[in-house]
A = this chain, B = another copy of it.
Amino acid sequence: MEYPSVLIEEAVKQISRLPGIGKKTALRLALHLLKQDELDTEQLSEALLKLRKDTKYCATCHIISHTTECECRTARTDQSTICVVEDTPDVIAIRNTGQYFGMFHVLGGVISPLDGIGPEDVKIDSLLHRVKESKGEIKEIILAISPTMEGDTTAFYITKKLKEFPVKVTSIARGIPIGGELEYTDEVTLGRSIISRREYTQG
């Protein structure tokens, strides 16, 4: 495609490097910016730069943070539970449920031998270190990892490694989504939901 200006060409090239954005969308976004106030583009540009340059990761739980003082150290966080997730969006999703008040541990990926990602490439050692250093204060590790082949491998590996510590290892429930129809649920999920059935509790 030929662009009317090298400035547009460069902007389209850079924008279309983002995942899921093609050249046509990139052009649409570039032309949109041209029609908006100059301040809008300045704010966008600055927000991206600041995000990339100033973002820090908590040395303990590896959550993205703008300070090294992460929420995992604050008093309002329950210090007896760690929820282990693959990446930051999972932290956001779980926090937004309003059902979990403990700490997190971001692995930064899952074990995937086919992609050459071994246990040492994700933050598992650091998790074991946290559990060890807590001297029994951490009572439960909740594994909230996607139920894919790689996710299950990772969960299995972590469970095995945690056996030597006096912690309970749990997994978030797999089953039929709320509002989901039985009839359209895949067999594996339905099968697991029968195996993991729960007794009705009063209250």
Contact = CB atoms under 8 A, between A and B. Distances in A.
Interface of A: 1-8, 10-11, 13-15, 17-21, 25, 27-34, 38, 40-55, 63-66, 71, 87-89, 91-92, 95-96
Given A17-B44, A33-B51, 7 more contacts: A2-B92, A3-B92, A4-B92, A8-B51, A8-B55, A15-B47, A41-B52
A21 B20 CA distance: 11
Nearest to A43: B14
A54 to B, nearest CB: 6
Contact of A64 (B10, B34, B41, B64): B34
A172 to B, nearest CB: 19
Secondary structure class of chain A's binding surface, majority of residues:
helix
A43 B91 CA distance: 29
Contacts of A95: 2, 4
Copies of the protein in its oligomer: 2
A91 B4 contact: yes
A1 B66 contact: no
A10 to B, nearest CB: 5
A122 B125 CA distance: 64
A44 B48 contact: yes
Nearest to A48: B45
Contact of A51 (B10, B51, B65): B10
A89 B5 contact: no
Given A7-B50, A92-B2, A96-B1, A31 B66 contact: no
